[in-house]
Structure 1
Amino acid sequence: MATKQERPIVETTTEARGAEAGPSVLALLMVSLGLAVLILGVVWFVFFRT
């Protein structure tokens, strides 16, 4: 928690960043990457298959 020493407010690194990238961020990136690969695969299969 932020503490006040004299005048400036002192915060830890995590508090200063505002949030930390947890497993939910990794999950979101993996799901979006998987969907992008799936959609590109469907587009290739429909339009560019010979």
Structure 2
Amino acid sequence: MVKKKHGVIIETPTEARQAEPGPSILLLLIISVSIAVIAMGIVWFLFFRT
């Protein structure tokens, strides 16, 4: 709930972010980094292997 104090809106950090932190961000980061590493491995294997 938004509260005003001396004309300034006072919010908690969660209200200011409009979201709650959760494990979904960590999961997204792990998956995207894993895909990038696999893709770079495939490119190395196809083009730079001697």
TM range (shorter): 0.7 to 0.9
Q: How many residues are matched?
A: 50
Relative to the length of structure 2, the TM-score reads 0.76
Structure with higher RCO (Cα < 8 A, 6+ apart):
1
* Gaps in structure 2 of 5+ consecutive residues: none
RMSD (CA atoms)? 1.8
Give me the identity figure in percent.
56
Cα offset, 1:17, TM superposition: 1.8
* Gaps in structure 1 of 5+ consecutive residues: none
**What CA distance in whole angstroms lies between the structure 2 residues aligned with 1:36 and 1:21?**
24
